[in-house]
């Protein structure tokens, strides 16, 4: 794992955006794996700015988001669909049919998971996966204890994850209890992974991840130690606290 220590959030986002832009310029039909949450919003801002200033095009790009809440439709302002449109997709030239986000209101959620996994395979897998990390070490919504062999599946969110995401909702009760998430094995099949870690709140888990010599399901992000091409980009707050 390569570690890049950015001096602040802005520099962390700029470095992550560079990875994305390089990938979409190098590949003929790049496939991006994308994350939501507080951490990557600045990366999307940089990508949108670059799109307008440098005309970087997304016409040839396919995307797969990591996860979506069960029970929230794409028009719900608290859904990850909505987040992605608002923060990124509405501001670049990516064709709608090349955007993939699990459908949290699918009538058959198990089938939705299987289909999502197949769609990723059909596109030849993910070239670059952007990840954030939960305070409990989750990546995607793969909570501690999730099997390393997991593929896209339905997960019961831990209370700490629901609390961490409460700020996107009016109250904790409104935060869904379940989500669809790419599994750990789905994430590990990506050819390159960039993990973003920002803010003092994430300092303990980053410390634990970097110092841990064991790779174990209790700390899902440790699986990344087995991946040949992972870059962790952290800001000073997450690194030095």
The answer to whether 222 and 146 are in contact (CB under 8 A) is: no
Q: How far is the CB of 6 from ligand F6R (least distance, A)?
A: 15
The smaller minimum CB distance to ligand F6R, of residues 67 and 127, is found at 67
Q: How far is the CB of 131 from ligand F6R (least distance, A)?
A: 6
The answer to whether 26 and 215 are in contact (CB under 8 A) is: no
Task: Give CA–CA dist 104/109, Å, rounded.
Answer: 7
The smaller minimum CB distance to ligand F6R, of residues 37 and 183, is found at 37
Tell me which of 50, 136, 217, 237 is the catalytic residue: 136
Residues that bind ligand F6R (CB under 6 A): 35-39, 66-67, 132-134, 138-141
**Is 54 an annotated catalytic residue?**
no
Tell me which of 112, 117, 127, 143 is the catalytic residue: 143
The smaller minimum CB distance to ligand F6R, of residues 56 and 198, is found at 198
Tell me which of 138, 153, 192, 235 is the catalytic residue: 138
Q: How far is the CB of 116 from ligand F6R (least distance, A)?
A: 14
**Is 138 an annotated catalytic residue?**
yes
The smaller minimum CB distance to ligand F6R, of residues 30 and 132, is found at 132
**Is 143 an annotated catalytic residue?**
yes
Q: How far is the CB of 184 from ligand F6R (least distance, A)?
A: 12
**Is 8 an annotated catalytic residue?**
no
Tell me which of 67, 127, 192, 235 is the catalytic residue: 67
Which active-site residues does the annotation give? 67, 136, 138, 143
């Amino acid at each position: 794992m390569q570690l890049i220590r950015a001096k602040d959030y802005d520099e962390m986002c700029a470095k992550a955006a560079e990875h994305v832009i390089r990938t979409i310029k190098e590949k003929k039909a790049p496939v991006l794996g994308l994350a939501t949450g507080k951490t990557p919003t600045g990366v999307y801002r940089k990508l949108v700015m670059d799109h307008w200033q440098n005309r970087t095009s997304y016409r040839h790009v396919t995307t797969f988001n990591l996860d979506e809440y069960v029970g929230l439709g794409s028009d719900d302002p608290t859904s990850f669909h909505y987040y992605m449109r608002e923060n990124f997709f509405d501001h670049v030239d990516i064709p709608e049919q090349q955007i993939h986000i699990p459908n949290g209101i699918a009538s058959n959620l198990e089938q939705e998971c299987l289909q999502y996994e197949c769609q990723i395979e059909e596109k030849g897998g993910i070239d670059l996966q952007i990840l954030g990390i939960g305070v409990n070490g989750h990546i995607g919504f793969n909570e501690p204890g999730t099997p390393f062999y997991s593929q896209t599946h339905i997960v019961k969110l831990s209370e700490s994850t629901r609390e961490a995401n409460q700020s996107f909702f009016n109250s904790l009760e409104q935060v869904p209890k379940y989500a669809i998430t790419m599994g750990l094995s789905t994430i590990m099949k990506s050819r390159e992974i960039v993990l973003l870690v920002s803010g003092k709140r994430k300092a303990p888990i980053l410390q634990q991840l970097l110092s841990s010599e064991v790779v174990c399901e209790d700390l899902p992000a440790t699986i990344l130690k087995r991946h040949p091409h992972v870059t962790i980009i952290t800001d000073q707050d997450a690194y030095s606290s």
